[in-house]
Amino acid sequence: MLTTFRTPFGRYRWLRLPFGLAASSEIFQKRLQTALDGLQGVVCVADDILVYGTGQNRDVAQLDHDQKLARLLDRCTEQGIRINKTKLELNKEEVIFLGHKLADEGLVIDPDKVKAIREMSPPTDVGGVLRLCGMVNYIARFLPSISTIMEPIRRLTAKDAKWTWSTEQEEAFEKVKHLVTTPPILAFYDEKKALTIHCDASEKGLGAILLEEDSPVSYASRALAPTEI
């Protein structure tokens, strides 16, 4: 990447990747992925590196984790990657990663996101509806038929829609709050286990669930456009 710039004292070029450039995050991500390529049980996103262990019981999973961690540290030494020990967390049974909580039993919604929606006041304008839709969309994989439930609220974002927060929208809003406070725990995808997809449709939307031996892996739904009804 070219970062040369001209000054009255000559031309200079960055020796390290600077913050703020449009391509900085993509370049950093690619370099880190290349440096850690081939390491099993290691996931990196931006400057966060996650190491996980698997096994039939906690002792086996702990041993698997420790072996993977040792290989990661060896690779970091080889590649000249330095890790901030003040941000290092070891032997955690659950962690927040990419806005979700990863735990022994499966994938769970980040409690902070649940709290934010639960304590949210009803929207008073289109901007508030869009914020609510954005928050819900981020955790939609946990919420069965969420597009159908949100349809009365999302309807207010239409270009020529007249703003009216009626009983219909309030009931939908309360359903969303209830749904996020009682979400299912999603199973981690395992390529060795049999998968099943269940689909359904109604007058307002489409829905599906990906199951792994009867355990939900992800939910998906979409509201139908007026031209599709």
Same domain for 75 and 114, yes or no, is no
CATH code: domain of residue 121: 3.30.70.270
Please report the pLDDT score of residue 98 as a whole number.
82
Q: What is the DSSP letter of 182?
A: S
**pLDDT of 22-48, one tens digit each?**
888 888 899 999 999 999 999 999 889
Q: Indicate the average pLDDT of the chain.
A: 89
Same domain for 86 and 118, yes or no, is no
Same domain for 223 and 116, yes or no, is yes
**pLDDT of 112-128, one tens digit each?**
888 999 999 999 999 99
CA distances from 27 to 5, 76, 117, 213 (A): 19, 18, 34, 39
Domain containing 18: what range?
5-91
Same domain for 222 and 165, yes or no, is yes
What are the strands, taking DSSP E only, across 73-204?
A: 94-97, 100-103, 106-109, 195-201
CA angle 56, 58, 59 (to 5 degrees): 95
**pLDDT of 142-187, one tens digit each?**
998 898 899 999 999 988 889 999 999 999 999 999 998 888 889 9
- Is 1 a residue whose pLDDT tops 70? no
The whole-model pTM stands at 0.71
Same domain for 222 and 119, yes or no, is yes
Please report the pLDDT score of residue 159 as a whole number.
85
Please report the pLDDT score of residue 56 as a whole number.
86
**pLDDT of 183-205, one tens digit each?**
888 998 888 889 999 998 888 88
Cα 201 from Cα 208, distance rounded (Å) = 9
pLDDT band of residue 131 (cuts 50, 70, 90) is very high
Nearest to 49 by CA among 75, 24, 22, 23: 75
- Is 229 a residue whose pLDDT tops 80? no
Phi/psi at 94 (nearest 5 deg)?
Answer: -155, 145
* Residue 96 falls inside a structural domain: no
Same domain for 39 and 128, yes or no, is no
**pLDDT of 200-224, one tens digit each?**
888 888 899 999 988 999 999 988 8
* Residue 101 falls inside a structural domain: no
Which of 9-23, 39-53, 130-144 is least confident? 9-23
- In the three-class reduction of DSSP (H, G, I as helix; E, B as strand; rest coil), residue 74 is classed as helix
Residue percentage of the chain with pLDDT more than 70:
99
**pLDDT of 60-84, one tens digit each?**
999 999 999 999 999 999 999 999 8
